[in-house]
Structure formats: structure tokens, C-alpha cells
Structure 1
Amino acid sequence: MNILLLGSGGRECAFASKMAESRHLSQLYIAPGNAGTSTYGKNINLKLTDFEGIAAFVLKNNVEMIVVGPEEPLVKGIHDYFLERSDLSHIPVIGPQKEGAQLEGSKDFSKQFMIKHGIPTAAFKSFSKASLEDGLKYLETQKLPIVLKADGLAAGKGVLICETLEDAKNELKAMLADAKFGEASSTVVIEEFLTGIELSVFVLTDGKSYKILPEAKDYKRIGEGDTGLNTGGMGSVSPVPFADAKFMRKVEERVIIPTIEGLKKDNIPYKGFIFIGLMAASSADGKEPFVIEYNVRMGDPETESVIPRIESDLIELFMGVADENLSEKELKISPKFAATVMIVSGGYPGEYLKGKTLSGIENLRNSVAFHAGTELENGVVKSNGGRVIAITSLQDNLFDAVQNATADAGRIYFDGRYYRPDIGGDLM
């Protein structure tokens, strides 16, 4: 079949590499793609929110499935757009409809959903511009540090951890009264700060049944030892050593099943990925899972560690989602460890350099490269984003995976490049 994959990051490059192995694939198109995705299919210059342009391309090129990588087209309703058009409604879209996408598109919606269905999460309360004074008074009653979350999509920048009451009040005013994050912060969720270790759990569902994909841990801070500014992610590892069978059983029973059943009870159709951001908090009975957030797509850079561990045909799993018979499909996961090191541009996550020539990709010894912020210019790979390229190694143990990914990251060069040499070190 002909498939259109939407997106341009490392996540989409990892998807493309796996989909290209499938016996079901005739032609893979990636829109807009990057320098790496062009290895696995044909890049198409389409905007992710140009639904009419995407529809025209799909009809002209006999595309039989759409796989949506990032959240924005889902939150804006690309799945609904296809369902509403009689000439497109037969083409399956892997990714939830607009209502289900609210799990990521609205922090308040997702928190209300968790409370309604008994899913463990941090205590919270939501406020708007009209209730700003109530929000300021509420902050005075809360423990510090405290978390402020913009309700809508804010390009990964809408979550603030405030250490002092003064800082929390100033930020709440900035978000609600001054629209710090635009429309995204017209509502703000004030949330209890949880302590523990974060990890990401990924589920693929057809709305009836589900498959639990490999879990991963990502590293968000720019500096070694988890210091400095937050980023989109500087690397990841999978599996996560502390997420043993006992912990994952708790995750399935307390989080995954109530989430899937909650969607059914609320009559919210859902076909696609659910990314569950968890905090593993310590207790007398071991680690306890609390949901920090839902996302309605795979994570990045977690995908670059998760996909190499999936041994099954990815397109066959997507067909199971489309046909609502996912329970009949086999999910085979490698017992090996994957480690991903993200190489970023100088200046990232602030203003960063672009247009730098990459060299050394052909010198990787025990890793694969998943392109993120790259483009081809007259056949030369150039940097075109903050996170430029992800280096992933799949090995028998975590130590070897980390060592090989880090060593191979050092073999790639471009002006101002930077990567964290300590990814996975805290887990060994």
C-alpha cells in the first residue's frame, strides 16, 4: 500500500526506517520529511496543517493510509477532516480524532479525565483570567515548589516549575493576564509537584484493545547531570531498568486499562498512540505510578529508542488499528537495550545555528542515525533545526548501548555541535 507519514523529526525518521521494512509497503511518502527520511521514501513539501493540500495529494497518489507523527494536526482535527469527506473517509488515519486529541491539547481536559476515571495523578486546580485572583489565593495554600501548566499547546514551553510563592504569582499573572503563551495559557492548571523518576510508557490502541510498546526514559535538560534549560529531549534509553514486571503491572492495571476503558465510557473514539508521561514515586510497596501528562503521539527522542526494539511489522500493527483487530496482531519486542544520543545545534535550546554541513554519518560503527533537524542542499546534509540528528545503538546490555551511541555521536561533526555524554549514566 501507499502510505503518507506526516512529520519532519527524529520520530518520523525512526518510523520511516521501520515502515520501509514492511512487506505491506509499496510507496512511502513523508511530508515534509528531512534529509534522513528521503532514504526510506519520497519527501513531499506539504504543511502539516494544510488539510486540503494533504487531501489533494492523497487522492492524486492513491494513498491508502495516513500516519500522523506530531500532535498539532491531530489537535486541529486532521482525522475528523478525513472522516467528514466522503471521498476520503475510507482512508484510515493513525492518530486520534479531535476529541481524543484533547488529552494532549488541553491539560484541564486530561486532568478532569484522570480524576473522573480514577487514574492516579497530582492534585490540581484550573484557573482562567476571570478567576486570576482566586488562583493567586490558591497558590498561598499550596506547598512549594508548584507546577503551572498552560492548558493548550505551547510548543513544549508551557510547563513552569516555580520554587517561590512570588515567582509562582508572577508567572500566573504573566500567563493569564499577559497571555505569556498566547491562547494556550488562557486557562492555567496549578498542579502539585511530584518527586520521583520520570519515564514514558507508550500504548497503541484501536479503541477496543491495546498493545503496550517498550517504555523509555528521556533526558530533557541541556547539561550533563540534568542541569540547565529544558529541551525537547537530549537522549533516551529503553527499556528502563527500574520498570520491572511488578511496576509495569501497576501501570497497566491503574493507568492503561482505566484510560482505554475511560475513553470507551465517554464515547471518545481513539485510534493511535497514547504516550503516558509517568512519575515513579517511591513507597513502602516499591514504586508507584502517577500520570504527569498524556500525549496523543509517540515521544521524541523516545521513539528513536523504542522503534529499534520492535521486531514486528509496524504497518501490520497500524492495519490492526485501522481494522479494529489489533488484538489479533503479534507484538514482538527485542530484549536488547537501546540508547539514543541527540546531537544539537550550538545555542540550542535558545537561538541556534542553522545551515551547518554535517560530516561523519558514514563513519558510524555500531549505531544508526535518525535525522531530526536536517535538510538536503544539493546532495549535502545541512543542519536545519535545534535538535539535528539522533544516534541510536541497540546492544545486549545498557552499558554497551550507551557506550556505542555516545562513541558514534562523537564521529559526527558540524560547526557548534553539542551532545550530552552522560545519557543513561544514572541508570547504570
Structure 2
Amino acid sequence: MTILLLGSGGREHALAWKILQSKQCKNLFVAPGNAGTAEIATNVNLDILNFEEIKAFVLKENISMVVVGPEDPLVHGIYDFFKNDSQLNNIPVIGPSKVGAQLEGSKEFAKEFLIKHKIPTAAYDSFTAQTVEKGCKFLETLQPPYVLKADGLAAGKGVLIIQDLNEAKDELRNMLVHAKFGQASSKVVIEEFLDGIELSCFVLTDGKNYKILPTAKDYKRIGEGDTGLNTGGMGAVSPVPFADAVLLEKIENRILKPTIEGLQKDGIEYKGFVFIGLINVKGEPMVIEYNVRMGDPETEVVIPRLKSDLVELFQAVAYEKLNEVSLEIDERSAATIMVVSGGYPEDYEKGKQISGIENIEDSLVFHAGTKLENGKVVTNGGRVIAVTSFGNDFQEATKKSYQNIEKLHFDKMYFRKDIGLDLF
């Protein structure tokens, strides 16, 4: 079959790499893709939010399946667009409906879903510009640190964790009154702070059945020791060493099952990935957030551990037969280190030539923010390249990734040197 994959990051390069291992895949198009996907598939310059443009391409190239990498097209309703179009409704879209995508598109929607279906999560309330002073009063009822979340999509940067009460009040006003995160912060959710260690859980579901993918832990802050500004993610390890059988059973019974059952009870169509951001609070898992697609850089560490045919899994999702296929996982550990542009996540320069990729051995290289310019691979984003390695444990895997990163070079290149260190 011919498959169209939407997106341009490290997540999409990893998905493309895995999709192409399937005997079911004859051709793969990636829109818009990057320099890494250009090496293994065919990049096409499509606007992934222009559904009419996507429709024309899908019909022209006789596309059999559309796999959606990032959240934006899902929140804008690409699943519904295909379902409601007589020329497209026989083509499976891997991703949830527009309503399902609100689990990520609206923090308030997600919190209401969690409370309704009795899934453990932090206490919260939500506020708008009209109720900003009520929000300040609500902050006074909480213990520091204070958690402020922009309700809408803010490219992974809409969450603030602040120690000082007055600073939290000022930031709440910045978000609501002065639109710090644009339209995304026209509503802000304030949550109680949960103290624990985070992990990510990934589920593939056809809306009724589900398969649990390997766990991962990512590292969001730019600085070592988890300091500095939040980024899209600086690295990840899988599996999570502290996620033992007891914790995993609690996660499945208290969070995963009620989530899938909740989607069914609420009549929400959902055929795709559910990425659940969790926190382990003294052995008790609680939900921090939902995402409606695979995470990045977690995809680059989780997908390589799948031994199963990903396209067969997607076909089972499309036809609600996920219970009829098995999921095989590589028992080895994997570690991904993200190499980023100097200055990221604030201002950074693009167009820096990257050298040394061809020298990397015994690791996987997934391009994130790259493009081809006159035949050369150059930087084209904040997060540039992910290097993923396997090992008997995560220490061995991270060591291999770091050894290979030493072979890479571009001007002002930066990476964290402590990924996984907190787990020793």
C-alpha cells in the first residue's frame, strides 16, 4: 500500500523508518518531512493544516492510509474531514476524531474527562481574563510551587511551575490579560503541584481494544540537572527502570482501562495513540496530561523497541481488530539524546551545516529540525537530531549515544550530558 505520513520532526523520521520495515508498505510519502525522511521516503511539500490540499494529493497518489504525526491536524479535525468526505471515507486515518483530540487541545476538557471517569489527577480550576482575580485568590489556597497551564496548544511550552506566589499571580495575568501564549492562554488551568518522578505511558487503541507500548521517561528542561526553560524534550530512556510490575498494574487498571472505557462511554471515536504523561507519587500513578499522538523524543526511543510490524498494527486499529494481533517488544533498553541549536528554546540560528552523520555507527540517527540545502544537511529547527542506541541497560545505551554524538558537529551545537543520570 501507499502511505502518507504527516509531520516533519524526529517523531516522523522514527515512524517513517519503522513503517518502511513493513512488507505492507510499497511507497511512503512524508509531508513535509525533513532531510532524514528524504533519504528513505519521498518528501512532499504539503500544508498539513490544508485538508483540501491533502485530499487532492491523497486522491492523485492513490493513498491507502494516512498516519498523523503531530497534534495540530488532529485538533483541527483531519479524522472527521476524511470520515465525512465520500471520496476519502474508505481511507483510514491513524489518529483520533476532533473531539478525541480535545484531550490534548484543551487542558480543561482533559481535566473534566479525568474527573468524570475517576482517573487519578491533581486538583484544579480554570480561569479566563474575566476571572483572573478569582484565579489569584485560588492560588492563595494552594501550597507552592504553583502550576499554570495554558488551556490550548502552545508547542510544549505553555506550562509554568513557579515557587513564588506573587510571581505566579503576575504570570497568570500575563497569560490571561496579556496573551503570553497567544490564543492558547485565553483560558488557564491552575493545578495543585504533584511531587514525584515523571514517566510517559503510550497506548495504541482502536477505540475498544488497546496495546500498551513501552514506557519512557523524557527530559524536558534545557539545562543539566533539569534546570532552565522547558523544551520539546532533550532526551529519553526506555523502559523506565522504576516502573516495576506493581506500578505498571496500577497504571493499567487505574488509568489506561478507565481512559479507553471513558472514550467509549462518551461516544468519542479514537483510533490512534494515547500518550499519557504520568507522575509516580510515592508509588501511586497520577495523570499530568494527555497527548493524542506519540511524544517527541519518546517516539525515537519507543518505536525502535517494537519488533512487531507497525503497519499491521495500524491496519488492526483502522478495522477495530487490535485484539487479534500481538505486540512484540525488544527487551533491550534504549536511550535517545537530542542535539539542539545554540540558544534553543529561545532565539537560535538556522542553516548551520551538519557534519559527521555518516560516521555514526551502531546507533540510529533520527533527523528533527533539518533540511537539505544544495545537497548538504543543514539545521532547520531548535531540536536538530536525535541519536538512539540500544544496550543491556539504559546506562550502556546512553553511553553509546554519547560516544556517537561526539562524531557530530555544527556551529553552536548543544546537548545535555546527564540524560538518565537521575535514574542511577
- TM bucket (normalised to shorter chain) is over 0.9
Q: Which amino acid aligns with 1:11?
A: R
Output the CA distance in 2 between the equivalents of 1:347 and 1:179. Answer: 23
Structure 2 counterpart of 1:290 = 286
Give the superposition deviation at 1:106.
Answer: 0.3
Structure 1 counterpart of 2:227 = 227
Q: Deviations over 1:214-252 (max 9, x none)?
A: 010001111122122111111000000000111000000
Q: Does 1:405 align with 2:420?
A: no
Q: Which amino acid aligns with 2:275?
A: F
Structure 2 counterpart of 1:55 = 55
Give the superposition deviation at 1:147.
Answer: 0.5
Structure 1 counterpart of 2:355 = 359
Q: Does 1:414 align with 2:406?
A: no
Output the CA distance in 1 between the equivalents of 2:226 and 2:21. Answer: 36
Structure 1 counterpart of 2:4 = 4
Structure 2 counterpart of 1:339 = 335
Output the CA distance in 2 between the equivalents of 1:194 and 1:165. Answer: 17
- Asked whether the 8 Å contact 1:366–1:405 carries over to 2, the reply is no
Structure 1 counterpart of 2:238 = 238
Give the superposition deviation at 1:134.
Answer: 1.6
Output the CA distance in 1 between the equivalents of 2:219 and 2:10. Answer: 15
Q: Which amino acid aligns with 1:373?
A: G
**TM-score, normalised on structure 1?**
0.98
- Asked whether the 8 Å contact 1:353–1:416 carries over to 2, the reply is no
Output the CA distance in 1 between the equivalents of 2:188 and 2:34. Answer: 35
5 Å-filtered alignment, 1:67-86, equals: 67-86=67-86
Output the CA distance in 2 between the equivalents of 1:8 and 1:394. Answer: 24
Output the CA distance in 1 between the equivalents of 2:171 and 2:416. Answer: 30
- Asked whether the 8 Å contact 1:214–1:333 carries over to 2, the reply is yes
Q: Deviations over 1:342-379 (max 9, x none)?
A: 00011111111210111111111221100000001122
Q: Deviations over 1:187-210 (max 9, x none)?
A: 111100111111100000000100
Give the superposition deviation at 1:39.
Answer: 2.1
Output the CA distance in 1 between the equivalents of 2:159 and 2:394. Answer: 31
> Does the residue aligned with 1:275 lie in a helix, a strand or coil?
strand
Q: Which amino acid aligns with 2:179?
A: A
Aligned length: 424
The range that moved more, 181-190 or 287-296, is 181-190
Structure 2 counterpart of 1:348 = 344
Structure 2 counterpart of 1:137 = 137
- Asked whether the 8 Å contact 2:333–2:394 carries over to 1, the reply is yes
Output the CA distance in 2 between the equivalents of 1:154 and 1:373. Answer: 18
Structure 2: runs of 5 or more not aligned: none
> Does the residue aligned with 2:100 lie in a helix, a strand or coil?
helix
Output the CA distance in 2 between the equivalents of 1:225 and 1:126. Answer: 31
5 Å-filtered alignment, 1:119-138, equals: 119-138=119-138
**TM-score, normalised on structure 2?**
0.99
Output the CA distance in 1 between the equivalents of 2:207 and 2:310. Answer: 18
Structure 1 counterpart of 2:392 = 396
Give the superposition deviation at 1:130.
Answer: 2.1
Q: Which amino acid aligns with 2:393?
A: N
Q: Does 1:276 align with 2:276?
A: yes
5 Å-filtered alignment, 1:26-65, equals: 26-65=26-65
2:323 to 318, 323, 327: 327
Give the superposition deviation at 1:157.
Answer: 1.7
> Does the residue aligned with 2:401 lie in a helix, a strand or coil?
helix
Q: Does 1:17 align with 2:13?
A: no
Structure 1 counterpart of 2:173 = 173
Backbone CA RMSD of aligned residues: 0.8
Give the superposition deviation at 1:40.
Answer: 2.0
Q: Deviations over 1:266-323 (max 9, x none)?
A: 11110000000001111xxxx1101000000000000000011000000000000001
Output the CA distance in 1 between the equivalents of 2:136 and 2:399. Answer: 48
Q: Which amino acid aligns with 2:60?
A: K
Q: Which amino acid aligns with 1:89?
A: N
Q: Does 1:247 align with 2:247?
A: yes
Q: Does 1:307 align with 2:303?
A: yes
Structure 2 counterpart of 1:118 = 118
The range that moved more, 333-342 or 135-144, is 135-144
> Does the residue aligned with 1:318 lie in a helix, a strand or coil?
helix
- Asked whether the 8 Å contact 2:196–2:281 carries over to 1, the reply is yes
Structure 1 counterpart of 2:191 = 191
Output the CA distance in 2 between the equivalents of 1:77 and 1:29. Answer: 21
Give the superposition deviation at 1:132.
Answer: 1.9
2:366 to 345, 366, 370: 370
Give the superposition deviation at 1:133.
Answer: 2.2
- Asked whether the 8 Å contact 2:157–2:232 carries over to 1, the reply is no
Structure 2 counterpart of 1:149 = 149
Output the CA distance in 1 between the equivalents of 2:142 and 2:215. Answer: 32
